[in-house]
Structure 1
Amino acid sequence: MLIVVLSTTLVLAFSALVALYPSAIAPEVSAALGIPSSAIGLQVSLVFGGAMLTSLVGGPLTRRLGPCRASQTALLLLGGGAALMSVPNLLVAVFAALVVGLGYGMTNPSASVLLVRFTPLERQGFIFSVKQTGVPLGGMLAGALAPSLALGIGWRQGLWLLAGLALLGILGLQFKRRSWDDRREPGLNWRRSPFEGIRVVWAHKPLRYLAIVTLCFSTVQLSLSSFTVAMLVEDLDVSLIAAGAVMTMVQASGIAGRLWWGWIADRIGHRLIALAIIACSTSVGTVLIYFMSPAWPLAGVVMTLCLFGLAALGWNGVYLAEVARLAPPDRIAEAAGGCLVFTYGGVLLGLPAFALLMTVVERYTDVFGLLTCASLLSLLLLRAAARADDSAFGSEAANTRGESPSRLR
């Protein structure tokens, strides 16, 4: 199990590292492409657009290839995208971002299949959360390594190095391909029904509510990751260097949060309740941010944002573990891919929605206050998911003559 967790975590961390590498060296890349450095942020949107496309077929493609080969394919796309990003041409850069996104979107369906297969049910919340620490870990690696590589060997050479690491990962995973892919379905036509994952999600009411929840969660998460530095500098009069340091601490709190909430979910034995606690905590955080002002001591601001990050950045592992539990046993990859379409939809919609609200209220803290509505909506949706799950579970129990199977909720 250790090799499975380590492999899936590293693949996810590598995908985040490649996706965020250009943003971490925006001045260098923008100068080479002849565009403003602010336009590099659109690259992230293109990455998640590509990830959404792959999520549509990630489930059946994983079943056909097997989770190990699917992970290798993801690394191939990520490495190829990194190599393409080294070409100083705007059209190639757009295409490269989409290729990276295609690889990014393949990581979670394959990882979900492996973790469900090799992880005891009562530990899945924590193990899924360990795997999801790969995202903030990759972000931190991008911030730490990309500038050093750009100054030391050149930003293009740094991307070639990432492509080489992808090849090493592909070779390393090959040793496990026989045992991990022994249940693949080589005759499955994965292109026949690209919306199968969404159909699986929409056909099961608890999954349907949970998919909409992720729109709210991912919107809040994206807003925190994207606008914390701007809020600190423009609204709270914090220096840029100090704001960058605070942002690093917030991302670190996200790693701690993913481990913490995974452990909590397994301890209480009910992941929907854990997600509801996260939603409540996020609501409190958005309200506190609304009241922040330059009069607040910096230590209070840091503590508030880190506690907020603990919840707003820490939900992913518990969420994906619950999706795997609610999904039909033979449709786990499809359910993960279908729900992630909604997750990436929140990422794509969250940034422009936040920017639009900024044109109305003009203060970042006020917009974060408005995001309380998204957190409260997610709480209502989680309650609806719990009720729908109770109803479905009751029907199942009735069909088994009242004998309730033991399963972690």
Structure 2
Amino acid sequence: MKSDELTKSYSTSLWLILLVTISVQVLATFTALSLAAIAPEVATGIEVSPELVGYQISLLYLGAAIMSTAAGYQLRRWGPIRVSQASLIFCAVGAALAIVPSLLFIAIGSLIIGLGYGMTNPAASEMLLRSMPADRRNLIFSIKQTGVPIGGALAGLLSPLISKSFGWQWSPAVAALLCILLVIFMQPMRSAWDSERRNGVVLERRVFDAITIVWSSVQLRWLSICGFFYAAVQLTLAAFIVTLLVSDVSFDLIEAGLVLALIQVSGVLGRVFWGWVADQLGHGLTVLMLTGGICLICAFFVMSITELWDKIIIYILFVVLGFNALGWTGVFQVEATRYAPVGQAGAVIGGITAPSYMGVIVGPSIFSLVYILSGSYTNNFILIALFATLGMFCLVFVGLSNKKNSS
């Protein structure tokens, strides 16, 4: 198929591509957060402390960081549909292992889920970049990224209900089943959407060259470090909000799960809103600075929460925080593609997200460690403020590099 014919074919199916990519990210995220949403019950079931959920999340994103750096090879060899299917199979296998009430099995399962999760973004980005108009990239990428908070919202709403009704093991079991069903649904699409795959591509030493491409560019390097800190904000919030509200503010599990769901829903709206704003302004860095600044302010308010606060105020605070802590990723990815070498945008997305996944590993782990010392989840939000501030400093350096190159 000629290049212009292929582009036309992709253009006519843009919304179908969006539906598929969003669905993959919804299920991958639902699977990744299904245990975090019921952390107190899982901890009781396997007789461990609930703050260990931070290490479970860290294992998950360690797998994601490793796998995302091989994005270039995966996409060249198998194509974005097969890579997406493989990601869901990894998630299903990991979730099945997490059903076993054993810390070891949950740890191994979390790592495997992470391997699958790390394959989702590069594959989705590769499909979308072939079809979408340049002047709508921030909005379309941000719509694609709504799959993450939608999946988180489903985890916050459904996992506690499933756990209360049938037992906590049923939450990962449902996630595994849904992943397999989507794999089957996607199979008829492969022949058309993986038409550019190259079966002759072999595994080579440069399989992990995505991170090398990112690190060789000054702008991408600072942007990737910003992603490290912003991702630490996002996932620390998602991983600990339920436990914070249950332990420090005396919410019950259903109420706390509702707050997690509200955070994720507000993140959906935030991603679409900030993507639209970035397209209108034509300046993604400004949008990323705004989201970081609002997270910084909200984190200080969270540190003041007590049981005396009206629950409506708590809901509003976390909706605002979620709107911004989850609202940056689509704009972030489009900003990364601005500095990508020709034909390497998919690999750059994989390389730029690897440090973000490392931020997810470090953020919750530090939060868990500091909690052991402080004994307060709310006071620990000083770490969220610190992460947001450091991310904003990195964006300043990206802007300075742009000015230097243009002068």
Alignment TM-score, normalising by the size of structure 2: 0.86
User: 1:29: Cα distance to partner?
Assistant: 5.5
Instruction: Determine which of 174, 179, 182 is the counterpart of 1:169.
Output: 182
Which residue of structure 2 lines up, in the alignment, with residue 178 of structure 1? 191
CA distance 1:289–1:86, change in 2 (3 Å): closer
Which residue of structure 2 lines up, in the alignment, with residue 299 of structure 1? 312
Give the match's secondary structure for 1:188.
coil
Measured in 2, the distance between the counterparts of 1:157 and 1:191 equals 40
Which residue of structure 2 lines up, in the alignment, with residue 18 of structure 1? 31
Q: Which amino acid aligns with 1:60?
A: Y
Give the match's secondary structure for 2:287.
helix
Give the match's secondary structure for 2:149.
helix
User: 1:357: Cα distance to partner?
Assistant: 3.4
User: 1:384: Cα distance to partner?
Assistant: 1.4
Q: Does 1:211 align with 2:224?
A: yes
Which residue of structure 2 lines up, in the alignment, with residue 324 of structure 1? 337
CA distance 1:93–1:272, change in 2 (3 Å): same
Q: Which amino acid aligns with 2:31?
A: V
Which residue of structure 2 lines up, in the alignment, with residue 224 of structure 1? 237
Instruction: Determine which of 34, 43, 61 is the counterpart of 2:56.
Output: 43
User: 1:201: Cα distance to partner?
Assistant: 0.5
Structure 1, gaps ≥5 residues long: 396-409
Q: Which amino acid aligns with 1:103?
A: G
CA distance 1:371–1:92, change in 2 (3 Å): closer
Instruction: Determine which of 275, 290, 296 is the counterpart of 1:277.
Output: 290
Give the match's secondary structure for 1:326.
coil
Q: Confirm or deny: 8 A CA contact 1:78 1:103 kept in the other structure.
A: yes
CA distance 1:37–1:70, change in 2 (3 Å): same
Measured in 2, the distance between the counterparts of 1:360 and 1:89 equals 26
User: 1:217: Cα distance to partner?
Assistant: 0.5
Q: Confirm or deny: 8 A CA contact 1:56 1:341 kept in the other structure.
A: yes
CA distance 1:354–1:30, change in 2 (3 Å): closer
Deviates more, 1:154-163 or 1:207-216: 154-163
CA distance 1:377–1:51, change in 2 (3 Å): same
Which residue of structure 1 lines up, in the alignment, with residue 281 of structure 2? 268
Instruction: Determine which of 113, 125, 141 is the counterpart of 2:126.
Output: 113
Measured in 1, the distance between the counterparts of 2:163 and 2:226 equals 39
Q: Confirm or deny: 8 A CA contact 1:116 1:324 kept in the other structure.
A: no
Q: Confirm or deny: 8 A CA contact 2:34 2:171 kept in the other structure.
A: no
**Identity among equivalent pairs (%):** 36
Measured in 1, the distance between the counterparts of 2:92 and 2:32 equals 11
Q: Does 1:311 align with 2:324?
A: yes
Which residue of structure 2 lines up, in the alignment, with residue 133 of structure 1? 146
Measured in 1, the distance between the counterparts of 2:300 and 2:161 equals 38
Q: Does 1:124 align with 2:168?
A: no
Measured in 2, the distance between the counterparts of 1:242 and 1:76 equals 32
Measured in 2, the distance between the counterparts of 1:181 and 1:147 equals 38
Deviations 1:332-359 (A, max 9, x none): 2221111211111111111122233345
Deviations 1:348-375 (A, max 9, x none): 1111222333455554444323533332
Q: Which amino acid aligns with 2:112?
A: V
Deviations 1:222-251 (A, max 9, x none): 232233344445555656654443333223
Measured in 2, the distance between the counterparts of 1:157 and 1:309 equals 27
Which residue of structure 1 lines up, in the alignment, with residue 394 of structure 2? 381
Count, aligned residues: 393
Alignment TM-score, normalising by the size of structure 1: 0.85
Measured in 2, the distance between the counterparts of 1:366 and 1:118 equals 46
Q: CA RMSD in A?
A: 2.8
